[in-house]
Structure 1
Amino acid sequence: MTPPDRPVWRSRAWLVACAVLVVAAFALLAVGADGPGAVIVPVLVVATAIGVTTWTLIRARQRRLDYEARLTTWAAEHATHHERLRIARELHDIVSHGLGVITLRASAARRVRGDVREAEREQALIDIEQASRDAVTELRRMLAVLRDTDERGAPLRPVRNLSDLPAIVEATRPLGLEPQLTVGELGDVSPGVQATVCEIVREAVANTARYAGPTLTRVDLRRDGDAIVVTVEDDGPRGDWSPSRGAGHGLAGLRERVGVLGGELRAAPAGTGFQLIARLPDGAW
């Protein structure tokens, strides 16, 4: 559902008032200097002008109050719409990431052969249990935020920053990925860009694990003038890996996040693998 269009200020009170005053002025000019009309008409014109001006002021004020009320309602509905989209993205990220990790860990363990098979299965069950607990905890936090009417007491999740990147990348190792993280000289990076970088990397490596399976993944973060450039690329699937298809909303969500910051995102096959490049404007340097 799309939010309603922004209300437009319209008031014809002054237009009506001007028309009436113009007619009154012509009537006054049409009256001669002699006769009874020379006394009565000017009085009527003045009374009409006063009445019309008073009515116009009252009417314009009423229209202004009505416009402000409609604008307030529109702003609330607009904010609610965007908040619903944000919550939908958060819920998608939590559920998709949690289920994706569980699916990929189970798939990787099923393919293990040899003497380490039982040990790998046991470790896979431990990893699946931990991923499930993490997903449930995040969902409970989100539901607590939705139910809490006092925003100051809501248990919000802290915003991610660049210090979280190593943990985000290393979390893919149990899935069979071989991640490599390279961070260049970035200078000062604004908090909004840092959070977006973390979301881009998290979604990108999750997609790599889902579509390419156990493979080499390179994550590169550098500054290019007044922009931060994030590159995530992989070598493609190895052996008989069967891709696990997602809902297709992850990449669209990333494009929206990057677009909000005025950046651009390109994602396309590269060689035997896949490459994602995001360029985020940042003037904090």
Structure 2
Amino acid sequence: MESRPTWSSRAWPVAWAALFLLVSGLMTIGNQDPATQLLPLVVVGLAVLIAVWAVLRTRRERRAYDDRLAAWAGERAAQAERLRIAGDLHDLVSHGLGLITVRAAVAVRLDDPGQQAAALADIEEVSRETTTELRRMLTVLRTPDATAALRPAESLADLPGIVAAARGAGLDASLDLPELDGVSPGTQLTVCAVVRETLSNTARHAGPTRVRVGVRRDGGSVVVTVGDDGPAAGWEPRPGAGHGLAGLRERVTALGGTLAARPAGAGFAVTASFPGRAVP
């Protein structure tokens, strides 16, 4: 993407140089000749014309600069929107397919027909929800003026539901969420994204294993941790596209926070820290 346009006008330097030459010429010419007595008026007239030209040229250059700046800002906004949509699509597809993959892998290992039927019913429900959300998003993309039903932004109150969905996918997931006040909406939304993406990664890489989710305050920061006990016995990892953690790191960094992902014992741990921002 091109850098931000800059603006500088050359009209006034040229105008000042021309005025200087006119004044210098006027001072070097005597006024004994009656014809030269009109020269000051001519110089004043030329000075006025030069000043008017400089003003008009500056305005024209300024309008051209404003147009370039507006085009640059529009391109930057479009790029940001494309990145946001790509992130939403990644979250949607990765989370939905991750749940389907894990539930299908668990269903294969079940001997009870009733449990297999329940697992297949869960797969069908997740597939329908993911397809509906994907269709809704594609409708908005294809029709810019379409009015799609917007969901309210997620908050910390949605974390129990996110963890419960992970349990439905086969994870032995637990949540430690004390009462937290004064957490900004942006931080709450990103905490939910971190938890959802990490649980989805755990489901794909470690299968039906134990995973612990915790959100707490540490001084002036809000810290979320997600750690698992490692792959379940006989589980074959099913890696995704590899963009999930990179996208999360960008979102966390945009809020002034940090994100660390590292092995922890036999498992894996993700820790995100956000600077505390009290809500007025």
TM-score past 0.5 threshold: yes
Q: Which 5+ residue runs of structure 2 have no aligned equivalent?
A: none
- Aligned position for 1:174: 168
Q: Which 5+ residue runs of structure 1 have no aligned equivalent?
A: none
Name the SS for the 1:192 alignment partner. helix
Cα deviation per residue 1:68-118 (whole Å; 9 max; x = unaligned)?
A: 1222222222111111111111111111111111111111121234xx2x2
Give the TM-score, by structure 1 length. 0.92
The 10-residue stretch of structure 1 (242-251 or 70-79) with the greater mean CA deviation from structure 2: 70-79
What is the CA-CA distance between 1:37 and the residue it aligns to?
6.6
Q: Give matches, 1:37-116, under 5 Å.
A: 38-113=36-111, 116=112
Distance 1:158 1:143 in 2: 19
Contact 1:145 1:156 in 2 (8 A): no
Identity %: 52
Q: Residue type matched to 2:138 in 1?
A: L
Contact 1:217 1:235 in 2 (8 A): yes
Q: Give matches, 1:91-240, under 5 Å.
A: 91-113=89-111, 116=112, 118-150=113-145, 153-240=147-234
Cα deviation per residue 1:196-244 (whole Å; 9 max; x = unaligned)?
A: 1101000011111111112111111011233211111111113221111
Cα deviation per residue 1:30-80 (whole Å; 9 max; x = unaligned)?
A: 123433574243223212111100101111111111111222222222111
Q: Residue type matched to 2:20 in 1?
A: V
Distance 1:227 1:36, change over 3 A: farther
What is the CA-CA distance between 1:162 and the residue it aligns to?
1.0
Distance 2:194 2:158 in 1: 12
The 10-residue stretch of structure 1 (130-139 or 103-112) with the greater mean CA deviation from structure 2: 103-112
- Aligned position for 1:255: 249
Name the SS for the 1:230 alignment partner. strand
After TM superposition, where is structure 1 displaced by more than 6 Å over at least 4 residues in a row?
A: none
What is the CA-CA distance between 1:123 and the residue it aligns to?
1.5
Q: Residue type matched to 2:121 in 1?
A: I
Cα deviation per residue 1:124-169 (whole Å; 9 max; x = unaligned)?
A: 2101101100101111221232244446x33123211111100101
Q: Give matches, 1:244-283, under 5 Å.
A: 244-283=238-277
Distance 2:27 2:270 in 1: 77
Distance 1:37 1:264, change over 3 A: farther
Give the TM-score, by structure 2 length. 0.94
Q: What RMSD, in angstroms, separates the aligned Cα atoms of the two structures?
A: 1.7
